[in-house]
Structure 1
Amino acid sequence: MTQQELEKYLWGAATSLRGTIDAGDYKQYIFPLLFYKRICDVYDEEFEKALEESDGDLEYAAFAEHHHFIVPETAHWNSVRETTVNVGIAIQNAMRDIEKANPETLYGIFGDASWTNKNRLSDETLTNLIEHFSQHKLNLKNVPDDQLGNAYEYLIKEFADDSGHTAAEFYTNRTVVKLMTMIMDPQPGESVYDPTCGSGGLLLNCALHLRDEGKEYRTLKLFGQEINLITSAIARMNMFMHGIEEFSIVRGDTLARPAFLHNDELKKFNVILANPPYSIKAWDKKNFENDPYGRNLWGTPPQGCADYAFQQHIQKSLDAENGRSISLWPHGVLFRDSESEMRRKMIEEDLVECVISLGPNLFYNSSMTSCLLITNNNKKPERKGKVLFIQAVNEVRNEKTISYLDPHHIERIYNAYQDFKDEKTFTAVIENDKIVEDKNARLSVQLFVKEEIKEELNFGTVFNTWETDSKKLKTSMNDLFKTLANG
């Protein structure tokens, strides 16, 4: 199959569920089923290869060392395919058995979808779904990791488009992800962390970025935490589908129970990329005031908005020597009065390296403009004590209700970050001292990058011009009429 044929084939599975379940729920059934089919087909491929190597030794071919994952015979896709009654129970049992057979890698990866609810998914619907997936072998020979990984990302985007209000929970606009990854420029051997990782796009793209540059991406250490069960499972599947096996993605509430600790302190990372849930109200402010991990570096955010709780968690999780972060936020984090003191301390500690104002509609189901906040614990000498502001609100392609950054937009923004210098109407380098002169220590890009001011004409000038032009037009019309009359 070509890439396009593969994507059409996989999306066909989702369309078979239309009218049966809500579009927002497709992901919790289609992704696990796709992953289940993949690992069974790869298991068969590995079994055949080992069988050939051993001159038909079945026991040898079944050894665990010959397989990425163990698939018990009773849990194999083919066994479930033969089931005609209580198909949902057969699928659920098979998935649980595979998780148990691979406790270190696949525990909980299939999520908690309700396969046994016949009111939602009848035996006929599930049988049709299984038959649809059975049309093609999804082994490595037919569908390499790259191809399936790209198709998996395609599905994630399609589900985001289809599901509207739930999309932002698990999907970040991939063109923004590309820009964020280029700016952070993770290197082989570094640790990369996303505290609210969704479907894992930011982490995954760090590895793919290195691979595309011809560098050793397998030494990158990837860590992520995600509060939603099915979304965290999708993130793990996303990694495996792309052939990436060295990662740790944990389900949990990052603010209440951070997953990655070292010696009872937060683990430190070289690079952090994040698109945190914005302005959430349901968080434990009281506990944060006395945070056991010391994350209230600059203060305690208001109950109605946990943005700076996440930003401080990010800062506390950065390696002190070379840690750097990039976070996608709505613009409010740059100017809200209630967070001014925390913002001031962040600036005074010379942590903010760059603020990029992005265009509208880059968040799913929201027309709000967004921004990128970049921090760095080890600024280059020429950048110390300064912040670069980039006004990239026009560097965007609008499509209906969603916008994208095209390659030339990404290149222009990235080059501006690299150059770190003033460019009229586009960038401005501002001293920290000047920023904190403002009582609210605002980081709004439009305060520092000014639009081109067109020369204003006074009323008298405009009126005189109009009067002169009107007389000229009247004379011309009279001449025209005379010419026509004489003709």
Structure 2
Amino acid sequence: MALKKSDLYSSLWSSADELRGSMDASQYKDYVLTLLFVKYVSDKAKADPYALIEVPEDGSFDYLITLKGKSDIGEKVNVAIRKLAEANDLQGVINNADFDDPTKLGSGKDLQDKVSNLIGIFQDMDFTGSKAEGDDLLGDAYEYLMRHFATQSGKSKGQFYTPAEVSRVMAQLLQIPANTPKSTTVYDPTCGSGSLLIKVADAAPNGLTIYGQENDNATWALARMNMILHGNETHEIAQGNTLSAPKFRHGDRLETFDYLVANPPFSVKTWKNGFEEDYGRFDGYAWPPDKNGDYAFLLHMVKSLKSTGKAVVVLPHGVLFRGHAEATIRTELIKRGVIKAVIGLPANLFYGTGIPACLIVLDKKDAQSRTGIFMIDASKGFKKDGPKNRLRPRDMHKIVDAFVNQKEIDRYSRMVPLSEIRDPKNGYNLNIPRYVDNSEPEDIQDLHAHLQGGIPNGDLDALQPYWDAFPGLRAELFKPLRDGYSELTVDKADIQAKVTESAEYQAFAQDTAETVASWWTEKRKVLTEITSASRPNDLINDVSEALLDIFRSRPLIDEYGVYEQLMSYWNASMHDDVALVVGEGWRDGVKPRRARTWRDKNNKPKYEDAHLVFGTGAKAARWVMDLLPPAYLIERYFAEERAVLDALAEKKDVASLALSMYIEEHAIEDGLLYDAADDDGKLTSKLATAHLKKLKSVGGDPEEMAALTEVVSLFKAEAAAKAAFKSAATKLDELTLAQYGKLTIDDVQSLVIDDKWGGTIRSRIDGELTALVQALVARLRVLADRYESTVGQLDGEVERLSAKVSAHLIAMGVES
């Protein structure tokens, strides 16, 4: 059975848990990623006799499994991984982790168990079907681990990972044509773990020829492994300092590339260490400041681009406005037309720093004819994710859309003419707020409205998108009061009902639902035709772009909000479903499977969460339905049985409530049931029955026996209700499990595509419209509250209440 992404993630992270506490996250990543690598290449070699990675028999993961539990496991794992490295010229890349290190893994039995457990976690994974096509599970899992390692490592050790969302945006900003040949080059001079390079190569349908350089030796090794794990076995990643010792050059001339991406370390103060030759990087520019390397990296990248080359670079915001030598360099870059766009990103996106960063898009093609720089302020588009911020799918798509289409969006993006940038008041300063004002309009209090009443028409005009969507609604809610002011015609408590019950809203909601249904019907064929050759990322791109297109022309509903609803569901669940169908097909993908079992560190059995469970304990039959949970079958095939079960559940709850209330009333101290309860005040059927029998034998108090008789009867009624419910639930579960075997492919596709995927997406998009209406209602209520009473009315109320207080004081004999 194919692994779900979420299952793979949890398994991989549990391997890190084995090591947590014994070493820093920056160290235990080496162990986890090494075993991930060995398992992956071993499975691929078994599945593909022509795999580029050679796996010796005594260097395979299967061989590692034979070492579990042996006293010398650490030493032998090291030897096996070294043999795999030697067979593929990967010495110093995959054999950096020491599996026999007592300072990190413990000694004796502790080390033996820890390494055996690590191997066991990977043992049940199967990567033979993993694809090197940009959307494979393994690549996603690798990114998941890298992100968590970066988070765990802290600021000083998190620089080897660029968030995947930022990487994907950068790759799309390059606008690589679909017919680009694989021989086209892409270069990252500070490549870290290689994620940026991989994202760019994935964005090109034919792939690209990859070059990179990384200074840190351990991170360089990660990049090499990352390339192989993502199917980029042919690559050239060099190790060394890019500024002082660039590896890609011809003599004293830097090699140039078609595309370039980079996320260099911010504001390095020691960039000149070991620096001897500038290789023409600073010719025609000023030298960068001795204590700040941002422009040293940027000029290296400019020099490394071909005459038609493009680049996207992450840099701190300071490069946009800092003065002195940096201002001189920035001015020259602008004059040469090299900078095509500047994009401001949210703060706290990157591991290693919390400061805001920007993307600078470089484009040498037709640079001299460039007349402006496109600027985007995307600083407000993100979601919180633990201690960091992350770009949402809607944020990513909006950035790329605005840039690619040079779309000017109020308070978000605009093309800034070079004449404006070089104007003396700006002086070649590229600080984005100078050119794009992203501040929200101030919510101004209207003094005249406070004095004379009424809601300012200006506040209502600001809600124009709603009036465009519902043209008659404003007139239904408001009437003119005087020039420039309106009056609410309904009670403020009735605003929501007035909006949602209006014919225009109902028509709009219906039209939205029909639009979604039409889109889903059109794209259903794409989904029914999923095969083993399908690429999930290509599929969702097709489906999501069509959704964006149909909502772009519609009023009120933000197309990126609808897109976000689809993509958040895709990322959370639907991607796993599609990957399962790609890997196993519709028929096998829907088959129930036995839940996975394992043992924890204390050797106690653990069970995967199951949809259907028959029996209890270790002998229970636990069934998991990855693609199609039972609820969808029950809804379609067993609605009557479900209704019967719901009725029995209600009877069970009623019986339990009657019992608990009776006990609560009579089991108190000196109550009729008090003597039957145990020392903790708990009363069971067994205790009540025994006490009743005892009282009958000795002629006990009639009232006490009557109460015991009643409670025993209630216990029996509850037990019977529970038994009936359990019997019906088991019968329904049995019917449901049997129904899976009767489903045709058409049945499966209808249940999954129409009921599960389509139903969920429709519900999410409905929620988007509901949220918009709630925002309108909330704003109208704010305005209604704000101007409900004039100042004169408030003063009158104060005088009235003051007089009332004075009268009370006089009546009490207190002088006011």
Please indicate, yes or no, whether the TM-score normalized by the shorter chain is above 0.5: yes
Deviation at 1:459, TM superposition (A): 11
Following superposition of structure 1 onto structure 2, how do residues 456-471 of structure 1 map, counting pairs within 5 Å? 469-471=790-792
Distance in 2 (alpha carbons) for counterparts of 1:32 and 1:208: 23
Distance 1:10 1:369, change over 3 A: same
Distance in 1 (alpha carbons) for counterparts of 2:409 and 2:65: 62
Q: Partner residue of 1:270? A: 258
Structure 1 stretch displaced more, 77-86 or 124-133: 77-86
TM-score (norm 1): 0.84
Q: Partner residue of 2:189? A: 195
Deviation at 1:42, TM superposition (A): 2.9
Distance in 2 (alpha carbons) for counterparts of 1:67 and 1:416: 42
1:124-173 per-position Cα deviation (integer Å, ceiling 9, x unaligned): 3222222322233x3414x4441222211221122222222245321112
Aligned partners of 2:190 and 2:215 also within 8 Å = yes
Distance in 2 (alpha carbons) for counterparts of 1:110 and 1:193: 23
Aligned partners of 1:173 and 1:362 also within 8 Å = yes
Distance 1:460 1:46, change over 3 A: closer
The yes-or-no answer on 1:134 pairing with 2:118 is: no
Aligned partners of 1:281 and 1:305 also within 8 Å = yes
Distance 1:472 1:85, change over 3 A: same
The yes-or-no answer on 1:124 pairing with 2:110 is: no
Counterpart of 1:90 in 2: which secondary structure?
helix
Deviation at 1:345, TM superposition (A): 0.9
Distance in 2 (alpha carbons) for counterparts of 1:247 and 1:313: 21
Structure 1 stretch displaced more, 82-91 or 297-306: 82-91
Distance 1:2 1:285, change over 3 A: closer
Aligned partners of 1:76 and 1:94 also within 8 Å = yes
Aligned partners of 2:150 and 2:159 also within 8 Å = no
Q: Partner residue of 2:213? A: 225
Of residues 214, 217, 229, the one that matches 1:241 is 229
Q: Partner residue of 2:171? A: 181
- Aligned letter for 2:104? R
Aligned partners of 1:324 and 1:374 also within 8 Å = yes
Unaligned ranges ≥5, structure 2: 106-110, 453-785, 808-816
Of residues 49, 52, 60, the one that matches 1:68 is 52
Q: Partner residue of 1:43? A: 45
Q: Partner residue of 2:137? A: 147
Deviation at 1:315, TM superposition (A): 0.3
Following superposition of structure 1 onto structure 2, how do residues 26-425 of structure 1 map, counting pairs within 5 Å? 26-46=28-48, 66-83=50-67, 84-103=70-89, 106-110=90-94, 112-121=96-105, 122-136=111-125, 138-141=126-129, 143-145=130-132, 146-166=136-156, 168-187=158-177, 188-189=180-181, 190-210=184-204, 215-217=205-207, 220-262=208-250, 264-284=252-272, 287=275, 290-291=277-278, 293-297=279-283, 298-320=285-307, 322-338=308-324, 339-379=326-366, 384-420=370-406, 422-425=408-411
Distance in 1 (alpha carbons) for counterparts of 2:45 and 2:446: 79
Distance in 2 (alpha carbons) for counterparts of 1:37 and 1:376: 41
Deviation at 1:451, TM superposition (A): 4.3
Distance 1:461 1:102, change over 3 A: same
- Aligned letter for 2:54? I
Aligned partners of 2:450 and 2:791 also within 8 Å = no
Distance in 1 (alpha carbons) for counterparts of 2:131 and 2:413: 43
Deviation at 1:97, TM superposition (A): 2.1
Distance in 1 (alpha carbons) for counterparts of 2:447 and 2:263: 52
Deviation at 1:482, TM superposition (A): 11
Q: Partner residue of 1:475? A: 796
- Aligned letter for 2:791? S
Distance 1:473 1:327, change over 3 A: same
Q: Partner residue of 1:54? A: none
Q: Partner residue of 1:51? A: none
Distance 1:453 1:21, change over 3 A: closer
Deviation at 1:330, TM superposition (A): 1.3
Aligned partners of 1:324 and 1:377 also within 8 Å = yes
Structure 1 stretch displaced more, 160-169 or 408-417: 160-169
Counterpart of 1:170 in 2: which secondary structure?
coil
Distance 1:196 1:478, change over 3 A: same
Aligned partners of 1:275 and 1:327 also within 8 Å = yes
Distance in 1 (alpha carbons) for counterparts of 2:196 and 2:241: 18
1:258-309 per-position Cα deviation (integer Å, ceiling 9, x unaligned): 1212355211111111110001112226836x51x11123222112111111
Distance 1:400 1:470, change over 3 A: farther
1:39-78 per-position Cα deviation (integer Å, ceiling 9, x unaligned): 223334446xxxxxxxxxxxxxxxxxx4422233333334
- Aligned letter for 1:12? S
Aligned partners of 2:449 and 2:790 also within 8 Å = no
Q: Partner residue of 1:449? A: 436
Aligned partners of 2:210 and 2:235 also within 8 Å = yes
Distance 1:284 1:418, change over 3 A: same
Deviation at 1:177, TM superposition (A): 1.3
- Structure with larger RCO (C-alpha < 8 A, sep 6+): 1
The structure whose Rg is larger is 2
Q: Partner residue of 1:429? A: 415
Aligned partners of 1:72 and 1:98 also within 8 Å = yes
Deviation at 1:422, TM superposition (A): 4.1
Distance in 1 (alpha carbons) for counterparts of 2:444 and 2:152: 49
Counterpart of 1:326 in 2: which secondary structure?
strand
Distance 1:314 1:96, change over 3 A: same
1:214-248 per-position Cα deviation (integer Å, ceiling 9, x unaligned): x322xx11111111222222222222222222321
Counterpart of 1:237 in 2: which secondary structure?
helix
Aligned partners of 1:285 and 1:301 also within 8 Å = no
- Aligned letter for 1:231? T
Distance in 2 (alpha carbons) for counterparts of 1:40 and 1:398: 38
Counterpart of 2:31 in 1: which secondary structure?
helix
Runs of 4 or more above 6 Å deviation: 455-468, 477-483
Aligned partners of 1:111 and 1:229 also within 8 Å = no
Q: How many residues align?
A: 452
Deviation at 1:446, TM superposition (A): 0.6
Counterpart of 2:344 in 1: which secondary structure?
strand
- Aligned letter for 1:361? N
Deviation at 1:110, TM superposition (A): 1.0
Aligned partners of 1:255 and 1:310 also within 8 Å = yes
Distance in 1 (alpha carbons) for counterparts of 2:61 and 2:171: 37
Distance 1:475 1:445, change over 3 A: same
Q: Whose helix fraction is larger, Structure 1's or Structure 2's?
A: 2
Structure 1 stretch displaced more, 434-443 or 242-251: 434-443
Distance in 1 (alpha carbons) for counterparts of 2:386 and 2:792: 46
Structure 1 stretch displaced more, 449-458 or 437-446: 449-458
Distance 1:351 1:144, change over 3 A: closer
1:177-219 per-position Cα deviation (integer Å, ceiling 9, x unaligned): 1111111123432211111111111111112223xxxx322xx
Counterpart of 1:169 in 2: which secondary structure?
coil
Counterpart of 1:327 in 2: which secondary structure?
strand
Distance in 2 (alpha carbons) for counterparts of 1:417 and 1:18: 43
Deviation at 1:410, TM superposition (A): 1.7
Counterpart of 2:306 in 1: which secondary structure?
coil
Distance in 2 (alpha carbons) for counterparts of 1:386 and 1:98: 53
Structure 1 stretch displaced more, 18-27 or 310-319: 18-27
